[in-house]
Chain A
């Protein structure tokens, strides 16, 4: 009976992941075979041409995305970690209100933020710049990061923090030497999500960095499709490469990913 369940589970997973398989399959398919009818279910005459195109054309986009992703992680942690500590441990007056604001902030449609940012960035002269994009992308992660870290930090054992206080550590010292090291797992999870969201962002990139010299990989793919490009193996190869961070996230932080999704939902 359990084996039957596993078999059903395998079939369901295969159905669900078929589009992902197809992306990989097409990325290895020769141009000549792309329009075959019926299509090849496996890359029979496998080719790396698509990936060669990625190396030739997409590396600058990938590099920009890497920088934007890392910048977003740093900015998110710098803003979110102290706030989470305060909300979880220092009980500020009005903290609940702030938590509620963060919760609703997550729900604002990206396109609305994008339009507001466009107006602000235009006046500030940071349109089409990498720092501007980092700031915009961080808004995807900061509310989640504060709420997730606060949930984690409020679960830290009180004895440890009390011991630190007895030893004469002030609030800042306690935060730096006790709370932050203990929250490592939560910090890693939040960083991974912040990176992934910044890496995947299309709304902000396409509105705030349309004319930029350094554009992220999402725009790289978008230009590929937009130019009526028929080299779908190159497009799909880029898509595969762009999916690597998601795969890494799933492999090294599987547990935390599920925890993160759930925290995103059951925060209140």
Chain B
């Protein structure tokens, strides 16, 4: 973390630690009250049998891991896990590939390239509810432009959002669209950091475009790629808005992920089940940690070769 620990200089005396921590006091307090405490309450929620009434009175009976067992045994668990994995992996693969292709394209400076690159940010900046409702209308079964275009090609209309076979793919496509700009911008800045001299040397040695990509760009871009994918992973696992707004996880659970399942348990029904909802949420954190660790390990194992 370069930003927090600049090399200590011996020339001047260290300013008082009390001053440093006085400046940190607000953020420390903030983290305790608005991060740690809600998280603690969330864990507590998952370990007790909460109902609306006991929620208000605060006397919910302790349930141990009962909520977790309930969640594991729920018929939604298997499909939700599978959907979360598919949604995350497919989104990441396409976001990264398309983002990298676009980043490579934009490194060639051509007229308007800076402006067009900026315009590519629009999907990422739009409020998710805007993107999600726009995609809902694009993919509308009867009046959507996507089905109209398919009709021109002689293909039948597809029930993108209302058929269990398609709903997960539809929300995935929308999510890829939203994630491409992030990958583009980060990978582009990574490409900019590769010194031009390396390419010139390779060109002198007679390397062709393909060789230059696989032998220079790809290996040198690995650290940036790794961080892009890791962040993409964390961001994708927690995607909730898009799916909820487009399909509410349906029809009949066909696009339910852990995030939407947790929301539905806690807030989506008339009778909320906070305990299981919080349990699913905590499983999501565990999942992020596991995925992250596995990913970091594979990176480390591959690095020495």
Residue positions of A touching B, CB distance < 8 A? 2-3, 5-6, 8-10, 12-13, 16-17, 19-20, 22-23, 26, 34-39, 78-80, 82-83, 85-88, 90-93, 95-96, 98-102, 105, 107-120, 122-123, 135-136, 138-139, 142, 146-147, 150-151, 154, 162, 171, 175, 196, 199-200, 202-203, 206-207, 210, 218, 221-222, 225, 232, 235-236, 239, 242-243, 246-247, 249-250, 254, 257-258, 261-262, 264-268
Contacts and interface: CB of A to CB of B under 8 A. Distances in A.
Contacts of B177: 16, 19
Interface in B120-176: 120-131, 133-138, 142-143, 145, 148, 151-152
Contacts of A87: 3-4, 24
B105 interface: yes
A90 to B, nearest CB: 4
Contacts, number: 304
A115 B4 contact: no
Q: Interface majority SS on B: helix, strand, loop or mixed?
A: helix
Q: Interface majority SS on A: helix, strand, loop or mixed?
A: helix
Contacts of A108: 35, 39, 238, 285
A41 B58 CA distance: 57
A79 B133 contact: no
Nearest to A119: B41
A243 B127 contact: yes
A79 B24 CA distance: 9
B214 interface: no
A13 B119 contact: yes
Contacts of B135: 19
Given A20-B123, A39-B148, A111-B262, A12 B102 contact: yes
A119 B125 contact: no
B42 A112 contact: yes
Contacts of A151: 2-3
A20 B148 contact: no
B218 interface: no
B304 interface: no
A243 B39 CA distance: 31
B180 interface: yes
B100 to A, nearest CB: 14
Nearest to A262: B189
Contact of A105 (B31, B58, B134): B31
Contact of A98 (B24, B259, B274, B285): B24
A122 B55 contact: yes
Contact of A79 (B30, B126, B237): B30
Contacts of B17: 92-93
B277 A200 contact: no
A113 B34 CA distance: 9
Contact of A218 (B3, B37, B127, B151): B127
A83 B23 contact: yes
Top-10 shortest CB links A-B? A116-B38, A109-B238, A200-B127, A92-B20, A86-B23, A90-B20, A83-B27, A116-B42, A5-B110, A246-B125
A54 B285 CA distance: 39
A119 B41 CA distance: 7
Contacts of B86: none
Interface stretch (B70-78, B87-95, B204-212, B226-234): B226-234
Contact of A115 (B1, B19, B45, B105): B45
Interface string B14-29: 1101011101101110
Given A23-B130, A105-B35, A78 B26 contact: yes
A203 B285 contact: no
Given A3-B111, A83-B23, A202 B241 contact: yes
A92 B3 contact: no
